[in-house]
Amino acid sequence: MKKEEKKYIRTDIKKNTLAKEIIRVDFYPLENFDEVLEKLELYFRDKNYSYTQTTTTNVTYDINDPEPLITESFMVKKNIEIIQNYEFVNINESCKFVVNQNMLIFDKSAFSGYNGIELYFDLFIGAINVIKEITSIKISRIGIRKINELILSKKDSLFRYFNNIYLNDLNSINDETKEMVLEYSFRPFYGINDLSLNKNIKIIKGKYKNTNSDIIDAYSLIWDIDTYRRFVNDTDDLDLNDICKSINEKIFEEYSDVISDELYDYLTQDVESDDILGGINNGAN
């Protein structure tokens, strides 16, 4: 549907379409890492996170930066293969923190009753402050990634709920098409006002088991947005909370560009829809 000049307000959203959220900070290799890990374990234990150690783990928390950092011992866009990662997991909140000598990551994968990512900024920044108490830390990049998904019963519903500029090739999917994936990547800006952003749109036609356990045709649209900021100079005086908030607002701007006014109204009002099969969670965006 064509988008009108309508201002979307993130805090008005009552239902979200989130499937995954990631906050990631990269830094130069930490010294005294054993002591850092010990203090982080105490910090997260006090916040009801349990400690686990993982070895030879593939960590797929990429920020889609085309220029690998000096601090990275891996290539961006590929899985990060690291010998040792340390996880602090909160099962009740379906989230965890992952740390090693080069990065700290927050990962969340369930969003029913969600109150918003801002609640985790303090916890994330608190962990960085714990590290600072033990050793110096030079940050090279901070990024946030949000993956959203909406599953619909009809192809026409895609035109109702999403900005049609992202649906140009949808006519290649018809009733005879059993399965198909259309994927688009956009880089609206890179390094402008210190921020870079990537947006990936994926449209999938496949099968879906409905509430009656019937297998039906379904259409899924996944929009994956990550925004990050790089740093090359001294980072001691960074206001990490302001940086995270500005990144989060920029992601919402791009999120708003993908959805239609009709979907925005659905997410902000107590209304029902007969063509939305999945992807909706009650809670903030």
Q: Which two tokens stand for residue 179?
A: 């399965």
Residues 265-282: pLDDT tens digits?
Answer: 999 999 989 999 999 999
Query: DSSP character for 30?
Result: P
Q: d(Cα 277, Cα 158) in Å, to the nearest integer?
A: 12
Q: How would you write the pLDDT of the chain (285 residues) with one tens digit per residue?
A: 555 667 899 999 999 999 999 999 999 999 999 999 999 999 999 999 999 887 645 455 565 665 544 444 433 433 445 458 899 999 999 999 999 999 999 999 999 999 999 999 999 999 999 999 999 999 999 999 999 999 999 999 999 999 988 887 777 666 666 677 888 887 766 665 588 889 999 999 888 988 888 898 899 999 999 999 998 776 778 899 999 999 999 999 999 999 999 999 999 999 989 999 999 999 888
pLDDT in tens, 43-86: 999 999 999 887 645 455 565 665 544 444 433 433 445 458 89
- Quote the distance between the C-alpha of residue 240 and its chain's center: 18
Distance between the two ends of the chain, CA-based, in angstroms? 22
Q: List, in order, residues 6 or more apart from 10 with CB less than 8 Å away.
A: 249, 252, 284, 285
Q: Please, are residues 61 and 143 in contact by the beta-carbon 8 Å criterion?
A: no
What are the residues whose beta carbons fall under 8 Å from the beta carbon of 102, sequence distance 6 or more?
A: 26, 27, 28, 29, 30, 71, 72, 73
Residue with tokens 């990275």: 72
Spell out the alpha helix ranges (H) of 80-179. Answer: 118-134, 155-161
Closest CA to 27 of 135, 96, 104, 126: 104
